[in-house]
């Protein structure tokens, strides 16, 4: 029964993703793809004073990839860069409500986190200030 709830959550975020689109103001962006299955994700971020103020994504992919990106954007808004950069596999699985995925599906689920971290690194605001 619980698995059905999580499947519904994934399908809902796949069909109606949160924070899908572009930011009017951004100071970081990144894009990557999973060459094995064709998932492709772009992230845009607005970082101020060490916090992820806003985040959006676009892309095409399987339900796991798009749901993972959607849920991730909800989870990271307002968090410190340090907190976001510390996220890993366990956090992504918890967001999706899944205990385990096959290695190929894990790549789909982790792609959004990888791209989000790349966008944060690419953000000038995320870099330490030079003295």
Distance separating alpha carbons of residues 30 and 68, to the nearest angstrom:
16
Distance (Å, whole) CA 63 – CA 99: 17
Tokens of 83: 């907190």
Contact 40, 61 (CB under 8 A): yes
Q: Which of 61, 64, 63, 47 is nearest to 116 (CA)?
A: 47
Residue 65 falls in the annotated catalytic set? no
Write down the catalytic residue from 23, 45, 98, 108.
108
Give catalytic status of residue 37 as yes or no.
Answer: yes
Per the residue annotation, which of 6, 31, 37, 40 is the catalytic one?
37
- Tell me the C-alpha distance between 72 and 35, whole Å: 21
List the catalytic residues.
37, 108
């Amino acid at each position: 029964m619980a698995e059905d709830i999580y499947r519904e959550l994934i399908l809902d975020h796949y069909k109606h993703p949160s924070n899908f689109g572009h930011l009017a103001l951004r100071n970081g962006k990144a894009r990557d793809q999973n060459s094995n299955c064709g998932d492709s994700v772009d992230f845009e971020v607005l970082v101020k004073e060490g916090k992820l103020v806003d985040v959006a994504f676009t892309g095409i992919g399987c339900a796991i990839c798009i749901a993972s990106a959607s849920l991730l954007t909800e989870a990271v808004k307002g968090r410190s860069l340090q907190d976001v950069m510390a996220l890993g596999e366990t956090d992504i699985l918890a967001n999706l409500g899944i205990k385990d995925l096959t290695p190929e599906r894990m790549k789909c689920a982790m792609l959004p986190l990888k791209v989000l971290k790349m966008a944060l690194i690419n953000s000038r605001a995320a870099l330490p200030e030079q003295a």
